[in-house]
Amino acid sequence: MDVTVNLALIKSARTKKGFTQQEMAKKLGLNDKSKYSRRESGEYSFQLEELPLLVETLGIPYEKIFNRNVAKTEIEETAK
């Protein structure tokens, strides 16, 4: 099983809260908007220490911030 950060949820929560990417960059301690933008787009990964700040700022429960990608073979094995 592969676990990834739910980038669509992060972007959706950010826009609903009215935060710009520049504001989020500042909250995460990043130097500029482009560093945050690259994370939100998936070009770069959010760092482990940034996740608690995302959860707190955007009000996303920890259990929803991650996607679980299950391989087809894992699904077939579970069905047996």
The model's pTM is 0.79
Core vs surface per residue 66-79: b (16+ CB within 10 A) or e: eeeeeeeeeeeeee
* 71 pLDDT higher than 60: no
pLDDT-derived band at 75 (thresholds 50, 70, 90) equals: very low
* 3 pLDDT higher than 50: yes
pLDDT tens digits for range 20-62: 999 999 999 999 999 999 999 999 999 999 999 999 999 999 8
| C-alpha 57, offset from chain centre | 12
Please name each of the domains of the chain with its CATH number: 2-79 (1.10.260.40)
